[in-house]
Structures are given as structure tokens and as C-alpha cells.
Amino acid sequence: MLETLKEEVCEQNLELPRNRLVVGSGGNVSGRDAQTGHVVIKPSGVKFSKLKPEHMVVLDIDGTVIEGEMKPSVDAGIHLYLYRHRDDLGGIAHTHSPYATSFAARGEAIPAVLTPITHILGRDVPCSRYATPGEVDTGEAILEAAEGGMAVLVKAHGVFTMGKSATEAATIAAYLEEAAMTTHLAMLRGPVEALPDEEIARCYAWFRQNYGQTGRDSPSS
Ligand SMILES: [Zn+2]
């Protein structure tokens, strides 16, 4: 079941190591099927180099395994918590990508100082409060910090990005890490200046009207 979504979720999990966002088997991407509401996620503890679409685990929204031989990602509960509370989400990615996570280690947001990432997110990348690992506390902390946005740092942990699809969530994770690295390098040479709120709003609206071939593409199209 959900073969197309399994292929997409597998492919987007493989994008994480290609973009140097993860090591070993850390990090995960999931996608939600709009019709059934079922969630497809990476299995727990399987190295990316071994990952195939048939390894993906299908869960219902309460976490019952509907299909799959393996245990789902240890972070599946966090993904499900977010899907239960955000109807707009069709995909979630989680990484410990180093530059973004260095901001999370300090409990700091990544300021909106660069237009390319601001086009995509329409704001800074907020950092949540510290959350005990596990689905409820981490899920709540992400929801609180996100305020409806698509990217959050979890203090002392890592990065969660969200999107309309698994592809969009994983793509945002890659752009976010690039922005975190560039912002970090700039901050080494002195203070950086966040874009004014009205310019952030203008950037976000302009990108949505003009990016891609249709004028309505997302960065992952
Ligand atoms: Zn993690």
C-alpha cells in the first residue's frame, strides 16, 4: 500500500546524507497520505545506505503499525504528534545537521538575515525550550515554538522541518542548514542584522508569486 509515498519518503530520507545533514542512521523523514491519513516513516536504526522503499513503515495516526516488517523510527511519536495537531502538514524531516544544531545547542534562533531562507520560511528559525526526549514534550515544544511556521530548532537537540510533503520538508532542511552555516560564518566576523519585519513579509510574498514555472511552485518542486 501507499507505494508512491513509500518511494518518495525513502528517496527523501536518502537526500539527508547526500546533503550531509546526518551521520549513521540518525535523522528521519516521514510523509502523510492525504486520503487515508496514514504516515509513512523510516524504520529505526537502519543505515541510510541500506534503505529501500519496502523498508518504510506505515502507521496510522495513533501509531499502530499498518504495514511494515520493521520498527518505526524512534522519533515516530514526535512526527505523529505534529501531524495530529497540524492539518497543514504532509511531511516532516528531522536532522542534527551541524550548523543549525549549533544554534540549538546554544538555545538560540537562527536570525532572518539572509533573503534566500527568508523567502522560504517567512521568518527566523525559532528555537524551542528544552524538551525531554519523547513524543509529547518534544512535540509540544515544537508546536509552541513554530507558531504555525515550517522550521524549528529544538533546544539541545536538533532540527525539525515541515512541509506540504516529505519532499518539501527535506528540501527545507537542506536550505536551512546552508543558511545556518552562512549565518554562523558571518557572526564570526561580528554582529549580524536581521531583516526588518516588513521586508521579511515582502520577501515571502514575492517568492510565492514568482518562484518556479507556475508561479505557485514550492522550493522542492
Ligand atoms: Zn534527534
pTM of the predicted protein model: 0.94
pLDDT at 219: 64
Domain boundaries, the chain: 3-210
Tell me how far the alpha carbon of residue 156 lies from the centroid of ligand 1, in angstroms. Answer: 10
Q: Is 133 within 8 Å of 74 (Cβ atoms)?
A: no
How do the pLDDT tens digits run along the chain, 221 residues long?
A: 899 999 999 999 999 999 999 998 889 999 999 999 999 999 998 999 999 999 999 999 999 999 999 999 999 999 999 999 999 999 999 999 999 999 999 999 999 999 999 999 999 999 999 998 877 899 999 999 999 999 999 999 999 999 999 999 999 999 999 999 999 999 999 999 999 999 999 989 988 888 777 655 566 64
Task: Report the SS3 class of residue 141.
Answer: helix
pLDDT at 215: 53
Tell me how far the alpha carbon of residue 198 lies from the centroid of ligand 1, in angstroms. Answer: 34
Tell me how far the alpha carbon of residue 134 lies from the centroid of ligand 1, in angstroms. Answer: 10
Nearest to 41 by CA among 24, 22, 23, 60: 60
> Environment class of residue 3 by beta-carbon count within 10 Å: exposed (0-12), middle (13-18) or buried (19+)?
exposed
pLDDT at 87: 97
pLDDT at 185: 98
Nearest to 83 by CA among 45, 38, 128: 38
- How far apart CA 93 and CA 38 sit, in angstroms, is 16
Q: Is 131 within 8 Å of 213 (Cβ atoms)?
A: no
Tell me how far the alpha carbon of residue 113 lies from the centroid of ligand 1, in angstroms. Answer: 26
How is domain 3-210 classified at the CATH fold level?
A: L-fuculose-1-phosphate Aldolase (3.40.225)
Tell me how far the alpha carbon of residue 115 lies from the centroid of ligand 1, in angstroms. Answer: 27
Tell me how far the alpha carbon of residue 77 lies from the centroid of ligand 1, in angstroms. Answer: 12
Tell me how far the alpha carbon of residue 123 lies from the centroid of ligand 1, in angstroms. Answer: 23
Tell me how far the alpha carbon of residue 60 lies from the centroid of ligand 1, in angstroms. Answer: 22
